[in-house]
Amino acid sequence: MSDPPILAVFGSASERLALQGNYDPEVSDFEGARQAAIDVGRHAALRGWHLQVYSLNEDFIEHDLVKGYAAPDVGDPATKKVFVHFAQSSPEADPVPAARQKFDCPLEGMPYPSERWEVAFYRPLTTAAAVVVLGGGRYTLTTGIVALAQRIPLYAIATFGGSARIVWQAIEGGRDLPSDWQRRAMGNAWEGDASAERCLRALEEQIEIKRSQEQDKIQRRRERLQEQKDAEQAAADLLHQQQLNRRHRAQQQKAERVKAQRTALTLHCVTGLTCLLVTLLCVYQWQARVTLFDPFISLLLGGVFSGMTGSSILGIRRWRVENAEPSSFFAEVASLVLGAVAGFAASLIFVLGQVLTLPQGTSEELKAFQLRRMIPFVSVVGLVAGLTWHRFFDQLSETELPTRLPGTQGDSSATQG
């Protein structure tokens, strides 16, 4: 079960204070204001509220409030309690002992360790569930404005004048907690119990509205925190998924790389061994002095296959030693073809150079013998060409052809000449 709400009432309606010029505007009905405080106290007791007061001096409205609240024929005595706030400037400053002899209800002193009365006057506003202002001077005005600014449920009884009327004029319906009908009721003439009942009911409605607004605020804050948490979780999930995707791609790339390496190595090894066997077969034809192929064709085949053998050795070295990036299957086949082309071109140049140097009238048998004798040399030349084919083609691709022949129009040397 929640604690009863605490009602704080501020104001005064004293002829003595009026003579001192404490009211602006003036209090119009001192006796009526004090009776209104008694009515509010009685209905607070009937509803089981607790009271919060600062002074029990007869010049202040709190005295009449507690007087109506402590009436023995009103409310349940077990539910009554009055919190008396005061500045603890001296042991004699405690008003509770004297008040207990006057009022028949539980009184609890709430001392503040300060010599300034303003501390004990304003600080209790934070613990009050609702505030009523009635009559009063400038401190009542300050209290009412603070209650409006802090959105503390407020009821300003304006009909008796004093600073409570200025507070009533400052209330804006739709902006402050009091509604338009409550503001109109505050300005009506005081009708005893009916007005007191209307006052307490208006405060209860404002308390419920404030509680609902605070719950909505808490709910919105929870929703924002949940949205922020969800966004952070989504970002974390996205980051985790990106990490998994990167890891998966890295594994795929590694698997593709290994597969490409294995494919390239297999291709180069098989091709290299096959070409080596063909080359050795051509060399065997020279060593065994037998004719398996035409000698000239044997030379060209030896150059082509030895060039492919060199290209295969180059590819194996590139994969196993240099750990090159993977390339397509067709690129590896193209490297073998280029090695074969390089071997063929180098072998052809070598063979033609040797054949053209033979004396005229050389017999066919001697020519065949010379061609067979060149097979080992052609194999070596083709192998070297296959090992270095990439340098040859790279240099060929970097060579710039002249756009004009020397001596034609536009040539600088011809112009200068």
Is 199 within the bounds of a domain?
Answer: no
- Other C-beta atoms closer than 10 Å to the C-beta of 272 total 23
For 155, phi then psi, to 5°, come to -135, 115
The per-residue pLDDT for 84 is 92
- What is the percent of the chain with per-residue pLDDT over 70, rounded to a whole number? 78
Using DSSP's 3-state secondary structure scheme, residue 108 falls into: strand
- DSSP, collapsed to helix, strand or coil, labels residue 165 as helix
What is the 8-class DSSP label of residue 123?
Answer: G
Model confidence pLDDT, tens digit, residues 217-242: 999 999 999 999 999 999 999 999 99
Q: Is residue 80 part of a domain?
A: yes
Which range of residues forms the domain containing residue 22?
6-190
Q: How many alpha carbons lie under 13 Å from residue 401 in its C-beta half-sphere?
A: 3
Residues 65 and 140 in one domain: yes
- Total domains in the chain come to 2
| 21 shares its domain with 170 | yes
Lowest mean pLDDT among 25-29, 36-40, 65-69, 93-97: 93-97
φ and ψ of 327, to 5 deg:
-130, 170
The verdict on 30 and 169 lying in the same domain is yes
pLDDT at 384: 79
Read off the CATH number of the domain in which 64 is found.
3.40.50.450
Exposure of 61 by Cβ count < 10 A (0-12 exposed, 13-18 middle, 19+ buried)?
A: buried
Structure confidence at residue 327 as a pLDDT band (50, 70, 90):
low
Looking at the fold, whether 265 and 176 belong to one and the same domain comes out as: no
Does 329 lie in the same domain as 186? Answer: no
Tell me, yes or no, whether 209 lies in a domain: no
- Domain-located, residue 237: no
d(CA 293, CA 308): 20
CB 381 within 8 A of CB 303: yes
**181, 285: one domain:** no
Averaged pLDDT of the chain: 82
Could you tell me if residue 230 is inside a domain?
A: no
Percent share of the chain, pLDDT over 90: 45
Domain check: are 52 and 183 in the same one?
Answer: yes
Whether 171 and 264 map to the same domain: the answer is no
Query: Per-residue pLDDT for 181 more than 80?
Result: yes
Question: Looking at the domain assignment, is residue 75 inside a domain?
Answer: yes
User: pLDDT class for 405, splitting at 50, 70, 90?
Assistant: very low
